[in-house]
Amino acid sequence: MALVDLFIGGTETTAAALAWAVAFLLHRPELQERLRAELWRELGPTGTPQVGDTGRLPLLHATVTETLRLRPPAPLALPHCARRHTSVGGIPVPAGSILIPNLLAAQQDPDTWHHPEAFLPERFLVPGAPWRALVPFGCGARSCLGEGLARAELFVFLGRILQEFRLEPPAPGVLPCLEVSAGTVLRCPPFRVRMVPCQPPA
């Protein structure tokens, strides 16, 4: 049952991340077009994105990565216990202290991220992008076991959706709210989307 619980939990967080990606893309229709052009150019009219295609589809990979940066599946990592006296950012941490990393805040730190609250996948396409500061699934021995699967699912699912459909708001100017609310999983507020079938260029 533990494996079932882990799988169900992973499904919930992956679905939440996919909803955030769609919501962000509704706010940036020009990015949708660039992603679709990349998919059609690299995979042709009938190709399907595969897990190993991140190098061929850098904008799609960057879009998934930026979604996870802005809206990590869970805002807080698992608790850690300091085994010895140490410090974090100059703040003393006595041995035995329980630390709960705030992943959401870390990934929007203005000292690390340029325009930290903006959805800018392009930031991961330039040299010197702060990849090492990206920890949407935690880090170390207590990082999420499902990280690889979640990233793969997001990459393939989002790619397939964008290959087949243009995402539009249900009415002009009716865009999803991008505000976050407290919770174990960061869920996007409910929204409606029109999925308009589209054809690759001849």
Domain boundaries, the chain: 2-197
User: Where is pLDDT greater, at 89 or 59?
Assistant: 59
Give pairs for 172-176: CB < 8 Å, separation 24+: 175/26, 175/27, 176/23, 176/26, 176/27
User: Is 144 marked within a binding site?
Assistant: yes
104 in Cβ contact with 75 (< 8 Å) = yes
Q: Record the pTM.
A: 0.88
User: How confident is the model over 69-94, as a mean pLDDT?
Assistant: 89
Question: Which pLDDT score, from 0 to 100, does residue 84 have?
Answer: 93
Pairwise pLDDT comparison (181 vs 178), residue with the higher score: 178
Tell me the Cα Rg of the chain: 18
Domain 2-197 class, CATH top level: mainly alpha
pLDDT of 3 above 70: no
